[in-house]
Structures are given as C-alpha cells and as structure tokens.
Amino acid sequence: MVFDNVIVPFDGSVAGRAVLAPAGDLAWRCGARLVVVSNTGASDELSRVALKGRAITMSGADVDFWVDPGHSMGEALVRSAANRDHPLICVPLRNSKKGLLRRMVTEPMPHEVLHDTEVPLLVIGPEADVSRGLPLSEIVVPLDGGPSAERILPAAVAWAHEFKASLVLLRVVPTGVDDHQAPIRYLSERLGDVAATLPDARFELVEADDEALGIVGYLGDHDSSVVMLTLEPERHGESIGPLGDEVLARSPRALVLVRP
C-alpha cells in the first residue's frame, strides 16, 4: 500500500484550504505528489503560481495541478484519479447554514467521489483538527461484531504497517452492561487474525449510550489517530451508513474510507 498521488480539491473555500495540510502531510509520508484539482477558470499562469504558492505554504509538499473547468468538482476528482498511478483522494466535508432557522447542516461529499471511484478516500470532517496536518501514530478500526465492519481489516493492517502506526480495534458497548466477555472474546479473535503482521495490535472497549459518540469520544482522547471504515455498496449508490455519517460529522480526526 503505497500512494504515488494524493489528490485534493481546491475551490478557495475555508474547508478547501484546510484540507491541504493533512493531504500534504500524507503525501510527504508516502513520498507522493500532491495533486491540486480545480474546476474553476484559474488556469492562467499567474493564478496557478499564486495557488501553488498557497498550497505549498499550507501543505509543505510539492504540487501538481489538474485544472478541469468543464466538469463538476466531483467529476474532476474522479477524472484526475483515473489518470494517476496509485492515487488517494482527500476531500473535505463542510458545514453550511441552511433553512429558516439557519441550522448547521453537514454537506455530503460529491456523489461522484463516493460512487464513481474505487480509490481510497481520506475525508476531513467539519470538526477535524488539521492544525498539525495529519498526525498518524494510531489506526482505529471500529468493530461491531458484523462481517461488514471486518472487511476494512486488511486495509487497516496495510496502513498500520506502512506508516509504522499502532492498530487499535475499537468496540463500543452499552453503558451499564457488566458482562463484556462476548465482545472481549470477539476482539481477541480478531487480534489473532492480524497478529502475524502486527503483533502489537490491541483492542479497546468503550462504554457509551451511542456508538458514534463512543467512537468520537475515543478519538477525542487520542490526537494522533485516524479512523478507518469500509465504503459499502448500497442499492442507491455508495454509503458509509448512518454510523459512518455521524462519526464523520463529529470526529476530531480524519477518516479513511476504503472500498473492500
């Protein structure tokens, strides 16, 4: 698992600027090229130079460009990834004020990015802390006992091995339940599955009334972690499901989505 190109959108927004730092950090760790994708008219030389200077300042990485004004940003990201070797797409999820009550609503990622590309996604949610780029000493995999969540394990093992990070298998159990033998036995079995590659992998049990809040609470106490989830096909496209949506909207850390 080595990425040669880390692809990031840049539209001038606050979220677009913020995503440059973690994307650049990951590119540096991989020895990859940071590819800035724009679908605006900023293709003249002066605009490109200004944007490149800004991107380098914020990301610390060398920068290439994919300017595609004829397509939506989602389409431009997918087209860029299709023309690069071993790519990863890094996208922001942003908040916007909508409705009569000006309530904060999380805008989804471009549909094309979820539906039309098979490359891994690094997603920076609206609550994610990007002040230190992408700290990456711990890979967190939430497991609920089902086969769907387990499908991320091979990718998580590869990330942990590549970046010399710890692998943590996380299970949220209901508050007030005293008997944890079944989840402990399940997590111990999953550790056995990865022990040959990652003998130092461990598991954590977290008590919470809500699974998403339990995961987010754990991440809040571990400021160098990245959480990984499986991108599963659904009848109407691709989804990370309600749990993934909640974690992404609230998580203080970056989230990696990998198609099985």
- Paired tokens of 4: 């040669």
Confidence of residue 87 (pLDDT cuts 50, 70, 90): very high
pLDDT (average), residues 131-150: 90
pLDDT given for residue 36 in this prediction? 87
Structure-model confidence comparison of residues 113 and 207, the more confident one: 207
Please state the length of the chain.
Answer: 260
Nearest to 143 by CA among 201, 215, 80, 198: 215
pLDDT at 174 over 60: yes
Structure-model confidence comparison of residues 156 and 242, the more confident one: 156
Which residues does 145 contact at the CB level (< 8 Å), separation at least 6?
171, 183, 186
pLDDT at 97 over 70: no
3-state helix, strand, coil in the chain (%, to 5): 35, 25, 35
Q: How far apart are CA 27 and CA 136, in angstroms?
A: 13
Structure-model confidence comparison of residues 242 and 204, the more confident one: 204
Phi and psi of 126, rounded to 5°? -65, -20
Q: How far apart are CA 41 and CA 67, in angstroms?
A: 8
pLDDT (average), residues 67-71: 80
Structure-model confidence comparison of residues 55 and 17, the more confident one: 17
Q: What percent of the chain has pLDDT over 90?
A: 40
pLDDT given for residue 155 in this prediction? 92
Mean pLDDT score across all residues of the chain: 82
Q: How far apart are CA 198 and CA 161, in angstroms?
A: 7
Q: What's the DSSP call for residue 163?
A: T
- Paired tokens of 20: 């440059």
Q: How far apart are CA 144 and CA 1, in angstroms?
A: 25
Q: Which domains does the chain have, with CATH numbers?
A: 5-124 (3.40.50.620), 138-258 (3.40.50.620)
Over the stretch 226-246, which tens digit does the pLDDT of each residue have? 999 887 655 445 556 777 788
Q: How far apart are CA 195 and CA 209, in angstroms?
A: 31
Q: What percent of the chain has pLDDT over 70?
A: 79
**For the packed helices 241-250 and 211-220, what is the interaxial angle rounded to 10 degrees?**
30
